[in-house]
């Protein structure tokens, strides 16, 4: 389990590293963040979601909007549907990230384009003085490239349509988690069939 230790410091470069998982477990946790931009150093998280799956079935979720210190641009609102009004009364990152990290426990983390989400997670955890995360991580972009070759690209939106999930809203952290979980399960099934 991830312990919360305030004031605990590592070298930043070491802290930002994470371990890649070499297996495809049936128990995992999917994470996704909506942010004010692409840079984990200068942009902020405005929505975070984590959905826990046990034996491939959803068991628990953690979803919250986050109030940034800066404002949300109209461009980001168009993409995510999240406005400055939506986050006006939301908790600040330091109020929710410790609980989010505890929710992850020691589960394998799944994310689509994992380096993006992990950079935001680790950067913010570091600056809040949280203990270094030990979770192993799986990137569904890499998995989909190997196990879903019949699609034109491996963007989450494209994979969502390929899986018949086009009715799900894109660029909301919770629904993106659900789509990512389905991508992972599809790839895991393909792998398991190939090894039997």
Indicate which CATH number applies to the domain containing 181.
Answer: 3.30.420.10
108 vs 19: CA distance, rounded Å:
10
Stretch 6-26: mean pLDDT, rounded? 87
Stretch 124-147: mean pLDDT, rounded? 97
pLDDT in tens, 65-84: 999 999 999 999 999 999 99
Indicate whether 20 belongs to any domain. Answer: no
Q: Which domain holds residue 92?
A: 26-195
196 vs 192: CA distance, rounded Å:
6
Indicate whether 107 belongs to any domain. Answer: yes
How many other C-beta atoms can be found within 10 angstroms of the C-beta atom of residue 185?
Answer: 18
Indicate whether 113 belongs to any domain. Answer: yes
- List of E strands, the chain: 19-20, 28-35, 45-54, 57-65, 109-111, 136-139
| Best CA proximity match to 174, nearest among 62, 97, 72 | 62
> pLDDT grade, residue 192 (50/70/90)?
confident
Indicate whether 10 belongs to any domain. Answer: no
Look at residue 167 in the predicted model and tell me its pLDDT.
Answer: 86
Indicate whether 17 belongs to any domain. Answer: no
Indicate whether 18 belongs to any domain. Answer: no
Query: By the 8 A CB rule, do 37 and 43 touch?
Result: yes
Task: Provide, for the chain, the percentages of residues in helix, strand and coil under a 3-state DSSP scheme, each rounded to the nearest 5.
Answer: 40, 20, 40
Indicate whether 58 belongs to any domain. Answer: yes
Look at residue 70 in the predicted model and tell me its pLDDT.
Answer: 98
Indicate whether 83 belongs to any domain. Answer: yes
Q: Looking at the 3D structure of the chain, how many domains does it have?
A: 1
């Amino acid at each position: 389990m991830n312990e919360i230790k305030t004031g605990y410091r590592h070298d930043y470069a070491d802290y930002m590293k994470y371990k890649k998982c070499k297996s495809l477990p049936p128990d995992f946790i999917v994470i996704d963040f909506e942010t004010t931009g692409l840079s984990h150093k200068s942009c902020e998280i405005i929505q975070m979601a984590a959905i826990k799956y046990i034996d491939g079935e959803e068991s628990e979720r953690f979803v919250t909007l986050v109030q940034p210190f800066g404002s949300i641009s109209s461009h980001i609102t168009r993409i995510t549907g999240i406005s400055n009004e939506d986050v006006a009364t939301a908790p600040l990152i330091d109020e929710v990230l410790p609980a989010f990290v505890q929710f992850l426990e020691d589960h394998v983390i799944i994310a689509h384009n994992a380096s993006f989400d992990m950079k935001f997670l680790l950067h913010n955890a570091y600056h809040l003085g949280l203990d270094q995360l030990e979770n192993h991580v799986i990137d569904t972009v890499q998995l989909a490239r190997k196990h879903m070759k019949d699609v034109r690209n491996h963007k989450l939106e494209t994979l969502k349509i390929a899986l018949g999930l086009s009715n799900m809203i894109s660029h909301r952290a919770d629904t993106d988690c659900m789509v990512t979980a389905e991508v992972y399960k599809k790839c895991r099934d393909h792998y398991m069939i190939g090894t039997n």
